[in-house]
């Protein structure tokens, strides 16, 4: 069951589900607000909950509105692409061989078969980014496991529209956004430490903040830098 409540100029989508706890989410790019609530929870209780979180909602909406977004990629020569925070200019070369991506000096060389369309070019580059991240993550996890005193059972790399990473603390798995391959490596390291710390403390409470302060004293600088960098253009469909 889906309905809406109005909080001044903010519309909140309310979805009643077979769940135990109430959840609040704010989604990019425009700050759409959604509350998932247990089936038996009445609307007055949900409204009071939303009002109590109004400050946080507005803060998240402001963050999304101010964050710069990339223009849509066209995969043309001299288009800017980023790898580990460094800017490269794209060079597309059509050849009758398997597609590939290579960094050479300040250029990202994309080799594709003649007639390859933009969608396929995007898929090739996205796959390449994913592989760069898969190579970079294991050494960082191995470095931080003994420092944090935790063990990551598995990590996953995938496109994520609303998060840089996530953690299943019970399974000890972490997920990382493929977009991190475009950001400076210290941003990747911060995200990994953040998600690994969630194995020790699942929520963003004072204990979690203390853990981050203890293990990575400059974590807030890394977080702010990451959130100020341009994010991928998306065609947002809800």
Per residue in 179-235, pLDDT (tens digit) is 999 999 999 999 999 999 999 999 888 899 999 999 999 998 888 888 776 555 443
Instruction: Say yes or no to pLDDT of 29 above 70.
Output: no
Q: Is the overall model pTM greater than 0.85, yes or no? A: no
Q: Give the span between the Cα atoms of 155 and 135, in whole angstroms.
A: 12
What is the per-residue pLDDT for 63?
76
Instruction: Say yes or no to pLDDT of 45 above 70.
Output: yes
Q: Give the span between the Cα atoms of 192 and 187, in whole angstroms.
A: 9
Helix (H, G, I), strand (E, B) or coil at 184: coil
Q: Give the span between the Cα atoms of 70 and 179, in whole angstroms.
A: 12
Percentage of the chain lying above the pLDDT 70 cut: 91
* Averaged confidence pLDDT in the chain: 88
Instruction: Say yes or no to pLDDT of 73 above 90.
Output: no
CB atoms within 10 A of CB 164: 21
What is the per-residue pLDDT for 71?
66
Please name the residues in contact with 80: beta carbons below 8 A apart, sequence gap of 6 or more. 87, 88, 89, 90
User: Please, which pLDDT band fits residue 25 given cuts at 50, 70 and 90?
Assistant: confident
* CATH code linked to domain 80-228: 3.30.2010.10
Give the residue with greater pLDDT, 71 vs 196: 196
Digit-coded pLDDT (tens) for 99-149: 999 999 999 999 999 999 999 999 999 999 999 999 999 999 999 999 999
What is the per-residue pLDDT for 28?
66
What residues does each domain of the chain span? 2-66, 80-228
Give the residue with greater pLDDT, 68 vs 27: 27
Average pLDDT for residues 46-50, to the nearest whole number? 93
């Amino acid at each position: 069951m889906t309905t809406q409540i109005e909080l001044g100029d903010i519309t909140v989508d309310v979805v009643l589900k077979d769940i135990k706890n109430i959840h609040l989410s704010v989604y990019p790019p425009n700050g759409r607000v959604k509350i998932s609530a247990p089936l038996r929870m009445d609307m007055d209780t949900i409204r009071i909950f939303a009002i109590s979180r109004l400050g946080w909602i507005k803060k998240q909406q402001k963050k999304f509105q101010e964050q710069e977004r990339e223009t849509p990629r066209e995969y043309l020569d001299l288009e800017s692409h980023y790898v580990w925070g460094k800017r490269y200019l794209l060079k597309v070369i059509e050849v009758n061989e398997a597609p590939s991506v290579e960094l050479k000096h300040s250029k990202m060389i994309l080799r594709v078969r003649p007639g390859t369309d933009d969608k396929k070019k995007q898929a090739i580059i996205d796959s390449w980014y994913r592989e760069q991240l898969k190579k970079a993550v294991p050494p960082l996890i191995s470095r931080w496991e003994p420092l944090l005193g935790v063990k990551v059972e598995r990590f996953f790399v995938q496109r994520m529209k609303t998060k840089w990473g996530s953690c299943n603390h019970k399974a000890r798995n972490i997920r990382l956004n493929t977009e991190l391959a475009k950001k400076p490596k210290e941003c990747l390291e911060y995200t990994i430490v953040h998600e690994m710390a969630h194995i020790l403390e699942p929520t963003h409470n004072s204990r979690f903040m203390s853990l981050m302060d203890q293990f990575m004293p400059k974590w807030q600088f890394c977080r702010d830098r990451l959130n100020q960098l341009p994010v991928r253009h998306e065609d947002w469909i809800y």
